[in-house]
Amino acid sequence: MNTLLEHIISDCRQYTAQGHVATYIPELANVDPDQVGICISLDNGREYFAGDCQAQFTMQSVVKPLILLQALMDSGVDTIHSLVGVEATGKPFDTFNYSDQPLSRTNINPMINTGSIALCTLIHGATYRDRFGRLLELARKLAGNPQLTVNESVYQSEKLTGSKNRALAYLLTAYGMISDPVEEVLDCYFRACSISVTCRDLARIAHIFANHGAHPVTKEQLFPAEYAKYVNATLVTSGMYDGSGEFALNVGFPAKSGVGGGIMGVIPRRMGVGVFAPALDQRGNSVAGIKALEKLSRELDLSIY
The CATH number covering residue 133 comes to: 3.40.710.10
Domain shared by 24 and 40, yes or no? yes
Q: Same domain for 268 and 252?
A: yes
Question: Could you tell me if 213 and 105 lie in one domain?
Answer: no
Residues that are catalytic: 61, 64, 189, 241, 259
Q: Give the mean pLDDT of the chain.
A: 95
pLDDT at 99: 55
Residue 53 has pLDDT above 80, yes or no: yes
Q: Is the dihedral of CA 284, 142, 126, 227 positive or negative?
A: positive
**Count of domains observed in the chain:** 2
87 and 169 share one domain: yes
Has residue 304 been placed in a domain?
A: no
Quick one: how far is CA 38 from the chain centroid? 16
Helix (H), strand (E) at residue 245? helix 244-250
Assigned domain for 8 exists: yes
Model pTM? 0.96
Asked if residue 141 belongs to a domain, the reply is yes
Q: How far apart are CA 204 and CA 176, in angstroms?
A: 37
pLDDT score of 72: 98
pLDDT value at residue 90: 65
Residue 245 lies in a domain: yes
Task: Using the predicted structure, report yes or no on whether residue 236 has a pLDDT greater than 70.
Answer: yes
Tell me the three state secondary structure of residue 3: helix
Of 111, 109, 103, 124, which is closest to residue 180 (Cα–Cα)? 124
Final residue before a domain boundary, out of 135, 166, 193:
193
In a domain, residue 237? The reply is yes
Is residue 219 in a domain? yes
Rounded Cα gap, residues 288 and 265, in angstroms: 14
Same domain, 55 and 69: no
Identity of residue 64: K
Residue 280 and residue 232 share a domain: yes
Task: Determine the structural domain holding residue 162 and report its residue range.
Answer: 63-193
Q: For residue range 79-127, what is the model confidence (pLDDT) as tens digits?
A: 999 999 888 776 666 565 555 567 888 889 999 999 999 999 999 999 9
Do 76 and 171 lie in a common domain?
yes
Tell whether 112 is covered by a domain.
yes
**Secondary structure of residue 148 in the 3-state scheme:** coil
Does residue 305 lie within any of the structural domains? no
Instruction: Say if residue 282 is in the same domain as residue 215.
Output: yes
Task: Confirm if 233 and 85 have CB atoms less than 8 A apart.
Answer: no
Residues 179 and 244 in one domain: no
Give the model's pLDDT for residue 105: 84
Q: Are residues 53 and 70 in the same domain?
A: no
Query: Are residues 204 and 96 part of one domain?
Result: no
Domain final residue, candidates 193, 215, 242: 193
* Residue range 159-187, pLDDT digits in tens: 999 999 999 999 999 999 999 999 999 99
Q: Pick the last residue of a domain from 148, 177, 193.
A: 193
Residues 288, 206 share a domain: yes
- Residue 101 has a pLDDT of 66
List 271's β-bridge partners, or say none: 267
